[in-house]
Structure 1
Amino acid sequence: MPIDHIVFDIGKVLIHYDPDIPFSRIIPDAAERKWFFDNVCTHDWNIEQDRGRTWADAEALLIETHPDREAHIRAFRKHWHEMVSHSYDDSVAIMEGLIVEGRDVTMLTNFASDTFREAQARFPFLTKPRGVTVSGDIGLIKPDIAIYEAHTKSFGLNPAATIFIDDSAPNIEGAKKAGWDAVLFTGAEQLRADLLERGVRV
């Protein structure tokens, strides 16, 4: 079936994300920094902000168990803007080109509500697609099939005519379970090839 809807993930597809950028300065020792991310501000802790937990609650939870790390815990949100250091201009150009051509482009992202609005202010191209589903706004995160179904309903997509672009293999599998086509993002040139293979020229 021809592709009628193109859905972009955001982090590591359109904009860079790396907590090490500020924390290489905040915790200079690499081993200590790894311990901190493995045991304190972990991926599982951070993803709950993407699900809608407030930063105040998230910080309080960790400070209760790691009071000696309070400054480092609060630094995660305080210096978040440094973690999203730049856009991927080549993949942004693909997305913008699709919009100019009249393609239906939306975004589906695991993102905390407040930091997403910061990202939109810093990277105006994030306002150009028809719309976006932000996990923190609806309390669902990828790869839960429910978030893909919510996006489908919100934007009136035909799953069989929808392609999703994400840098995470589990998120790709979630999209496929929802009936979408999906491709793993590894770079702009491969994305161009993946789209062309499906009849979408950019």
Structure 2
Amino acid sequence: MTLATIATTPTIVVFDLGGVLFDWNPDYLFRKLIADEAERKWFLANICNGAWNIQQDGGRSLAEATASLSARHPEHASLIAAFYARWAEMLGGTLAPGLAIFEALEAGGVPLYALTNWSAETFPYARGNAPYQPVLQRFKDILVSGEEKLIKPDPRIYQRMLERIRVHYPEAQPEHLVFIDDVERNVLAARALGWRAIHHSDPAATAAQLRNWGLPV
């Protein structure tokens, strides 16, 4: 696909990974550790919650994160330690509807990139293990928040992604890009920077929007 095509329609697609192509859910692990559903939900909402986990996506070490949280909640230290010690058990494989979109775009010759909030210490597991590695190796480039020490929706991480895209497509501009993410605030941040962006909550709707923009899905 040439940049001549990019002049009129978006022709580069940037995927989020978790919730779009890969299934990740802490509940998969903690069902094994906390039998009571209400107790488990409380723990994942109040102790090992998203606000804590995303700091590791931003570059904080897993060891520091585990130690500091355990110091605040020593009664939960063993469960806190399990979060990263058994992190791979939170992965549930690939998500078939998102992967079908990915494969249709790939078959149509669309350049594909990934922009993910993911710890630099856990991402190597995905890079090295099936079924994730065979998907990851098909992207032209992958920007991992933990490696950059920036997290979505920080505008700087989108700019850094664009810079990486320009290594391959020097003329690329924000309006040439489509970003697909399951987190609405990340989508809104991309749109604010001039990207086309899709809040991925219904794969059929995502595919329909891509087709409306002239992409081969």
| TM-score, normalised by the number of residues in structure 1 | 0.95
Say whether residues 1:145 and 2:150 are aligned partners.
Answer: no
* Residue of structure 1 equivalent to 2:205: 190
* Residue of structure 2 equivalent to 1:154: 164
- Matches for 1:7-22 after TM superposition, within 5 Å: 7-22=14-29
Deviations along 1:83-103, whole A, 9 cap, x unmatched? 111211232132133223221
Pick one of 118, 132, 137 that aligns with 1:111: 118
- Matches for 1:169-188 after TM superposition, within 5 Å: 169-188=184-203
The code of the aligned residue for 1:143 comes to: P
Shift of 1:81: 1.1
Say whether residues 1:80 and 2:87 are aligned partners.
Answer: yes
The code of the aligned residue for 2:53 comes to: N
Say whether residues 1:52 and 2:59 are aligned partners.
Answer: yes
Pick one of 23, 30, 51 that aligns with 1:23: 30
> 2: CA distance between counterparts of 1:199 and 1:40?
44
RMSD of aligned residue pairs (Cα, Å):
1.3
* Residue of structure 2 equivalent to 1:121: 128
Kindly, what percent of the aligned residue pairs are identical?
37
* Residue of structure 2 equivalent to 1:201: 216
Shift of 1:138: 0.4
> 2: CA distance between counterparts of 1:25 and 1:133?
32
Where 1:102 maps in the other structure, the secondary structure is: coil
The code of the aligned residue for 2:31 comes to: S
The number of residues matched between the two structures is 202
Where 1:132 maps in the other structure, the secondary structure is: strand
Shift of 1:43: 0.9
In 1, are the aligned partners of 2:141 and 2:164 still within 8 Å (CA)?
no
The code of the aligned residue for 1:61 comes to: S
In 1, are the aligned partners of 2:11 and 2:215 still within 8 Å (CA)?
no
- Over 3 Å off, 4+ runs: none
> 2: CA distance between counterparts of 1:193 and 1:4?
15
> 1: CA distance between counterparts of 2:95 and 2:9?
27
> 2: CA distance between counterparts of 1:70 and 1:129?
38
Say whether residues 1:130 and 2:163 are aligned partners.
Answer: no
In 1, are the aligned partners of 2:155 and 2:189 still within 8 Å (CA)?
yes
Deviations along 1:176-200, whole A, 9 cap, x unmatched? 1111000111233222211100001
* Residue of structure 1 equivalent to 2:183: 168
Name the stretch that deviates more: 21-30 or 133-142.
Answer: 21-30
> 1: CA distance between counterparts of 2:60 and 2:86?
18
